[in-house]
Amino acid sequence: MKHLIRTALTTLALCATTVHAAVEVAGVRFDERVTVAAQPAELNGAGLRTRFTFKVYAMGLYLPARSQSAEAIHTTPGEKRIRIVLLRDVDADTFADALVDGLKKNHTAEQFAALQASVDQLRTALLELGEAREGTVVELDALANGSTRLSVDGQQRGADIAAPAFYPALLRIWLGERPVDDDLKRALLGQAD
């Protein structure tokens, strides 16, 4: 009987450690939890960005606590991470232009003008890459002080972007009224089927 109880407890312990397994999107693994600036963040959702029939990138969104509300995600403070893994080679100019287009589609001309200095800073840091090959990992982190940090393949690129309004603006590229991909938006909000 003791052996049976011990076996059952061991099995339960093993199951408990695997409940929060990684999520895989198009062969890209997204861990259930990560650390952003020494703070834990949970995978809110992960999905695939396609354009026409081509797979462009896999993306995961990490938050201090899960939420299915885009507005709550925009306004809730705390460390967050957008993790993008490219599924094809792309030049930095094309990638930067796509982000800028997404920002423009989800902001008025006045709102975008207010973001222009931050947009320019991000664009400059991205253009220094020249080209991003398939498998390149781009991470955009929201830090506790409200700034945005860009990292590529684990290395910080450029100085942190200080404007607190910039990270919520970036999130609108994927979670705004006119997201770059509706299916990806649902996946990032944890609403995918």
pLDDT at 95: 92
Residue 67 domain-assigned?
A: yes
- In terms of Cβ atoms closer than 10 Å to its own Cβ (0-12, 13-18, 19+), residue 59 is buried
How far is it, in rounded angstroms, from Cα 87 to Cα 129?
17
Q: What is the pTM of this model?
A: 0.86
Residue 9 domain-assigned?
A: no
Residue 12 domain-assigned?
A: no
CATH of the domain at 52: 3.50.70.10
pLDDT at 13: 42
pLDDT at 21: 66
**Helices then strands, each counted (H, E), the chain:** 6, 11
pLDDT digits (tens, 9 = 90+) for 135-156: 999 999 999 999 999 999 999 9
How far is it, in rounded angstroms, from Cα 134 to Cα 85?
8
Domain carrying residue 91: 21-188
Q: Across all residues in the chain, what is the average pLDDT?
A: 89
Where would I find the H helices in 28-134?
Answer: 70-75, 92-105, 109-127
pLDDT at 130: 87
* DSSP per-residue codes, 77-97: -S-EEEEEEESS-EEHHHHHH
For residue 21, give the 3-state DSSP assignment.
coil
Residue 82 domain-assigned?
A: yes
Find where tokens 């003008």 sit. Answer: 113
Q: How many domains does the chain have?
A: 1
pLDDT at 17: 36
Which tokens belong to 18? Answer: 């695997």
Of 49, 21, 20, 78, residue with least CA distance to 138: 49
pLDDT digits (tens, 9 = 90+) for 151-181: 999 999 999 999 999 999 999 999 999 999 9
- 132 pLDDT tier (thresholds 50, 70, 90): confident
Residue 14 domain-assigned?
A: no
